[in-house]
Structure 1
Amino acid sequence: MLKFGRPIGSIAQQSFIVPDIKSGIENLQRYMKIGPFFVVEHFPLHEYRYRGNPDHLDVTAALAFSGGTYYELVQQNNDAPSVYMETYHKRGWGFHHWAVASDDFDAHVKNYQEKGAPMALYGVTDFGTRVAYMDTTATLPGMLEVIEIGPKIEEFFGLIQSASIDWDGRDPIRILG
């Protein structure tokens, strides 16, 4: 069980692509009272590969919890080929992917590949956490992200969830450096 209440391997996150991160946050807060959002501008993703090819992806991510549900909003800041623009060109803004937290990253990735889902994105965060987006769109209405769980990323997710408990609406957007 993860410190933020989700079993390993279960759906830990829902992610949406938006044209403007600030208005996306404001809409979720106004209609659904989700917050506060922690924003990482120009989210660093090292060793980035889109469908096996290296490139430079520039995104801003906004992260928040509502109860046990972890939400992510993603705004792409450049025109690099990406899983986000691929989805946008197919069906517009909105739902993009679910994420699972994995304690055996390579096994999870291999399992999804064996089920027919190719790896569409690979990268490593500043925490040293590997992430892979598996293209499950042939059978599901979105992609599936595998997040390699470790102490640093689990602590980070826990911090975001703790801030959401009894959140009173103040300081709704918190920029992380």
Structure 2
Amino acid sequence: MPEALPVRQIAYFVPDVRKAATEHHALYGSGPYFVAENIPLGSATHRGNPATLDHTSAYGQWGSVMVEFVQQNNSGPSAFHDMYAEGSGEGGLHHVALFVESIESTIAHYAAAGYEVAFDARMEDGFRFVFIDAVKTHGHMIELYEPTDSLVGFYGLVADKAGRFSDGLLIDISLG
């Protein structure tokens, strides 16, 4: 039996991350939100085929979990459009994120249970993240990543800023 892994993040696909973050804050008091525009990817595959993804994300704290709002800025197939048709304006829960010891062994674990990799990408700095398609059984994707020092540090920063809005609700950052 695999180790029980806590959900580290809940992510929603939305048409406008700034609007979604502002509305979420008004309803739940979450935030502040760190907004990264046009997040650069070094490489990506969607369902095994080379892919391009230009996306923007807003990251904030919601109680004990990070919440992310993500929008796709380019057209074309993606793990987001697998769930929400391109141009439909629809959005909703897209994925939950897990820290895993080994992406490769976790992919193998899911593959043995019949789950496929929907998206596999590396940031320009080499940081890798993967979406496992669990839509039929769970209603959402599962994002996997290994907890690097910079990733854990970013999660810590977002958590430490929770409820402190001296820099505003929406704070622009660069993940490039």
Q: If the length of structure 1 is used for normalisation, what is the TM-score?
A: 0.89
Aligned equivalent of 1:108: 106
Q: 1:41 aligns with which of 33, 37, 40?
A: 37
Aligned to 1:158: 156
Summarize deviations over 1:31-75 as a string: whole Å, max 9, x none.
111100001101122211111111211110111112311101001
Q: State the partner residue of 2:70.
A: 74
The amino acid that maps onto 2:161 is: A
Kindly indicate whether the alpha-carbon contact (under 8 Å) linking 1:8 and 1:102 is maintained by their aligned counterparts in 2. no
- Give the structure 2 partner of residue 86 of structure 1: 82
CA drift of 1:151 comes to 0.9
Q: For residues 1-177 of structure 1, what are the structure 2 equivalents within 5 Å?
A: 9-89=5-85, 92-164=90-162, 166-168=163-165, 171-177=168-174
Q: For structure 2, which runs of at least 5 residues remain unmatched after alignment?
A: none
Please list the CA deviations of residues 79-121 of structure 1 after superposition, one character each: whole Å capped at 9, or x if unmatched: 1210111211299311111110112221111111111110000
**Structure 2 CA distance for aligned equivalents of residues 128 and 27 of structure 1:** 33
Task: Quote the Cα distance in structure 1 between the aligned partners of 2:4 and 2:42.
Answer: 24
Q: Structure 1: which 4+ aligned runs deviate by more than 3 Å?
A: none
The amino acid across from 2:75 in the alignment is: D
Supply the AA of the counterpart residue of 2:171. Answer: R
SS at match of 2:136: coil
Number of residue pairs matched by the alignment: 170
The unaligned stretches of length 5 or more in structure 1 are: 1-6
Three-state SS of the structure 2 residue aligned to 1:42 is strand
> Is the partner of 1:60 in helix, strand or coil?
strand
Q: Identity rate of aligned residues, in percent?
A: 27
The structural deviation recorded for 1:28 is 0.5
TM-score by length of 2: 0.89
